[in-house]
Amino acid sequence: MRTTTLAMALIAILFGAAGAAADDYPSHPITMMVGFPPGGPTDALARLLAKGMEAPLGQTVVVETVSGASGTISTGRVVHAAPDGYTIGIGNWTSHVGSPAIYKLDYDVQKDLQPISLLAYSPLWILGKNAIPPKTATELIAWLKAKKTQTTFGTVGTGSAAQLAAVSFATAIGVRFDYVPYRGAGPAIQDLLGGQIDLSCLEASATLPYVQAGKFKAFAVVSDKRWPKSPDTPTLAEAGTPGVSLPFWHGLWAPKGTPKEIIDRLDAAVKTALADPAVKNRLTQLGQVIFPADQQSPAALAAYEKGEIAKWWPIIKEAGIKASD
């Protein structure tokens, strides 16, 4: 009887401590993990979001970069952190959909993380060197189908959104590409500028200046909707390939087991940050499209990620994409 009473007392103490911690949250700075190099779209979004969350939270949000393995190292740090709300992680399609399908991880991306909020997305688009004849997306598709030799297509990152967009595009129009792998967007851009490759699929916001300067061509965005920063560029669906859509989206997660009160506090801080006119304006300048406020929630992020995994994991498996590619 005494053992049972003692056990119940211990449980009450633990739950009481957890409740007190949630009530006091946050009492010191929060770390936001980023799994991609500084200067890229994920890093830029993280820094703007972190700064915007500080006022509603009343604490500093420190951005910490741990890049490598397509974002999975940083995600692992979040998974294995204490579920107290002081370590959160920003991720994207690559780190939370593509990479978990090809890397052997010691965590389950859906079961071992607690979603906080959908954030924003930027489209990928199909780019081509200036020397190829097509001027429009429709002309590009016709030209590719008529070619007797394979077209070179630069891809960035194994299992990345850009690689899957390229594979989906080729499958949709019934052609095969001669894929040229790159470790980053920079080298792919240089080879596209130099004419060493015919096509590539890259993030639109990072390559828009080259398109505007006439350095290479943008044929279509890999999205359901046109991109506000380049409204004259059609979607692939408009060009005749319905269903080929892969927006490069971002979300925010915490470790599994983080108290609901803390998740709600973080979710509210995200909403406040993304509604701030200065943050909205800067993200728009960077080419990011903020998800509607009703999608900035834990449930919306969980459902969105689940749908993306259901769609893309079979495609990744069928394409035979592996971490060693």
CATH number of the domain that residue 187 is part of: 3.40.190.10
The count of domains in the chain is 2
Q: Note the pLDDT of residue 38.
A: 86
Are 110 and 306 within 8 A, CB to CB?
A: yes
* Residue whose token pair is 């006119």: 277
Q: Note the pLDDT of residue 20.
A: 47
Check whether residue 103 and residue 28 sit in a common domain: yes
Check whether residue 191 and residue 277 sit in a common domain: no
Token pair listed for 238: 């408009």
Q: Note the pLDDT of residue 243.
A: 85
Give dist(CA 316, CA 259) in Å, integer: 34
**Is 325 inside any structural domain?**
no
Q: Note the pLDDT of residue 21.
A: 58
Q: Note the pLDDT of residue 325.
A: 45
DSSP state for residue 96 in the 8-state scheme: I
Are 57 and 28 within 8 A, CB to CB?
A: no
Check whether residue 34 and residue 181 sit in a common domain: no
Are 167 and 159 within 8 A, CB to CB?
A: no
Q: Note the pLDDT of residue 37.
A: 84
Q: Write the single-letter amino acid at 242.
A: P
Give dist(CA 287, CA 281) in Å, integer: 10
Give dist(CA 248, CA 92) in Å, integer: 7
Give dist(CA 306, CA 97) in Å, integer: 9
**Is 313 inside any structural domain?**
yes
Q: Note the pLDDT of residue 99.
A: 93
Check whether residue 154 and residue 194 sit in a common domain: yes
Check whether residue 116 and residue 14 sit in a common domain: yes
> Of the residues 161, 186, 221, which one is the last residue of a structural domain?
221
**Is 96 inside any structural domain?**
yes
Q: Which domain, by its residues, includes 306?
A: 2-122+247-319
**Is 286 inside any structural domain?**
yes
218-275: per-residue pLDDT in tens?
A: 999 999 899 999 999 999 999 999 889 999 999 999 999 999 999 999 999 999 999 9
**Residue ranges of the chain whose pLDDT lies below 70:** 1-21, 324-325
> Of the residues 221, 239, 259, which one is the last residue of a structural domain?
221
Check whether residue 21 and residue 128 sit in a common domain: no
**Is 237 inside any structural domain?**
no
pTM check: above 0.75: yes
**Is 236 inside any structural domain?**
no
**Is 241 inside any structural domain?**
no
- CATH number, domain of 298, equals 3.40.190.150
Question: Strand runs (DSSP E) across the chain, as ranges?
Answer: 30-34, 61-65, 87-92, 113-122, 124-129, 151-156, 177-182, 199-203, 216-221, 248-255, 289-290
Token pair listed for 257: 């087991």
